Structure 1
């Protein structure tokens, strides 16, 4: 069974891919491979964030199943 990666690890991979691409030191093939890795990491980040958003929404539903908003302190 594959180990589930944390958001922080996937985000770090995405940031690394972006930094490598921005360096301008990669060959075309290396750039393409790095870009592909970045796209996959971005999709994984988005999927993980959607899962967290769903969990937060479930926690904020009232007894009638309606979603209610609560202000965040300091925002």
Structure 2
């Protein structure tokens, strides 16, 4: 848009579409986070699952 590649109307349309996609993606991510469980391996080798703490971020 800065270089005149698209019109203001087209830019606004793209912005609205992006906003809709962000909202939809955020909702889907929130639903997925509710389903995720953290697996913990105990000393005896068994695995238990506990709900993921939403306040904890997981870094790759």
2:36 matched to 1:56?
yes
Higher-helix-fraction structure: 1
- Please tell me whether Structure 1 or Structure 2 has the larger radius of gyration of its CA atoms: 2
After TM superposition, which residue ranges in structure 1, 4 or more long, deviate above 3 angstroms?
21-24
- Listed one character per residue, the Cα deviations across residues 18-61 of structure 1 (whole Å, up to 9, x for unaligned) are xxx7886210000000000000000011001000001115x943
Larger RCO of the pair (alpha carbons < 8 Å, separation 6+): 1
- Number of residues of Structure 1 aligned to a counterpart in Structure 2: 45
The equivalent residue for 1:33 is 13
Q: CA RMSD in A?
A: 3.0
> Which structure 2 residue ranges, 5 or more long, are not aligned?
40-48
In structure 1, list runs of 5 or more residues that go unmatched. 1-20, 62-66
Question: What's 1:64 paired with?
Answer: none
Q: Distance in 2 between matches of 1:47 and 1:39?
A: 13
